[in-house]
């Protein structure tokens, strides 16, 4: 899970211009079955991802446009790996654009751990 969160933060840093803003929010959401899910959102200012690319963001080796990369060497694997990690833990991720920003949200179900009896 650290790698999944690290991938999102790395992308936000890579695509946020100097003077831009990255906002990370974390909350716990309870669903109708009283199960808790961790919700983590990373929003960064900068050039929004064109809507026609949103459906392919999590495909392996997919890059919106090489000219959008501001720093670092991305191979187009980070979001695919992140989705795979989250889904293997029963979670998921989605990306969308906001007003002058990109927003990536992930959901990770919590695991209820029952302490062992010492009897």
- Tell me the torsion sign for CA atoms 50, 52, 57, 59: negative
User: CATH number of 2-109: 3.20.20.80, 3.40.50.970, 3.20.20.70, 3.30.565.10?
Assistant: 3.30.565.10
**Residue 81: enclosing H or E segment and its boundaries?**
helix 78-88
**Residue 27: enclosing H or E segment and its boundaries?**
strand 22-30
pLDDT truncated to tens, each residue of the chain (119 aa)? Answer: 899 999 999 989 988 999 999 999 999 988 777 788 999 999 999 888 888 888 878 878 767 765 555 555 566 788 899 999 999 999 999 999 888 889 999 999 987 666 676 66
């Amino acid at each position: 899970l650290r790698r999944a969160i690290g991938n999102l933060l790395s992308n936000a840093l890579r695509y946020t211009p100097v003077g831009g803003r990255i906002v990370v929010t974390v909350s716990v959401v309870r669903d109708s079955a009283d199960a808790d899910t961790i919700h983590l959102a990373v929003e960064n200012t900068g050039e929004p991802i064109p809507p026609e690319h949103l459906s392919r963001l999590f495909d392996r080796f997919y890059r919106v446009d090489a000219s959008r990369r501001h720093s670092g060497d991305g191979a187009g694997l980070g979001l695919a790996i992140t989705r795979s990690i989250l889904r293997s833990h029963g979670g998921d991720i989605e990306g969308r654009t906001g007003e002058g920003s990109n927003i990536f949200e992930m959901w990770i179900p919590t695991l209820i751990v029952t302490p062992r009896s010492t009897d």
